[in-house]
Amino acid sequence: MFSLQNKTAIVTGGASGIGLAISRLFAKQGAAVHIFELNYSLAREESENIIKEHGLAVAHEVDVTNQKKVKQVVSSIASEDPVDILVNNAGIAHIGNAENTKEEDFDRIVSVNIKGTYNCIQACIPVMKQEEHGVILNMASVAATVGIPDRFAYSTTKGAIISMTLSVAKDYIKYGIRCNCISPARVHTPFVDGFLAKNYPGKETEMFEKLAATQPIGRMAEPYEIAFLALYLCSDEAGFITGCDYPIDGGFLRLNN
């Protein structure tokens, strides 16, 4: 079950955190994984690690905000194998409210989180249409559907991801293309550790426990847990699912009173 044998997958931001967990699991399940990363040396290192584990992975230096580059790389991949799966995982975070969010910061997060997702979708859909099948999975967030303090710009972009998911699912269902999104709550990634070290030096453990406690289940998710949901949604077993947002949040949305 949940085999990705003979499938080609693109995972943006696929060399760290949730993206890396998805890249590893998809390769383990038989997919040829193409990792899109700004940090090419990291992408190459992780792709080599996947190959050592008998998986298939290729590293690509891609800035998802650069439409021309995205299209060039997708075209190069598609010239050899159809793109069966696109996971739009690349994204950045931002802390601030509507008053103190600077214009340049707002523009940057919109460019990466929204435009980057659009660029990759636009590049992959023609390939998927030609093959009359494909799966697009976008990374949203619980921040898209519930108010989280000081996450104005981030929440805005993730709300757009959910709307984008619905639009793509509606427009391309007739071509055999499915599109869904995942909305995680807090996930323990290197980003979280870096954020705590930068903003709460000497209080990292205390703040980590405080953030973890906001999930009713009492902890943050691990990246591999998000990856397993991604695997299901991108597998043939999920062939009846499109246009859906899947919270994976330890009870954050429904059980916080």
> Which residues are marked as active site?
154
DSSP 22: H
What are the CA-CA distances from residue 156 to residues 11, 150, 163, 245 (Å)?
23, 12, 11, 16
**Of 90, 149, 87, 98, which Cα lies nearest the Cα of 114?**
90
- Alpha carbon distance 171, 100 (integer Å): 37
How many residues in total does the chain contain?
Answer: 257
- How many other C-beta atoms lie within 10 A of the C-beta of residue 257? 4
Q: 3-state DSSP call for residue 27?
A: helix
- Alpha carbon distance 246, 178 (integer Å): 14
Cβ pair 74, 10 in contact under 8 A:
yes
- How many other C-beta atoms lie within 10 A of the C-beta of residue 122? 14
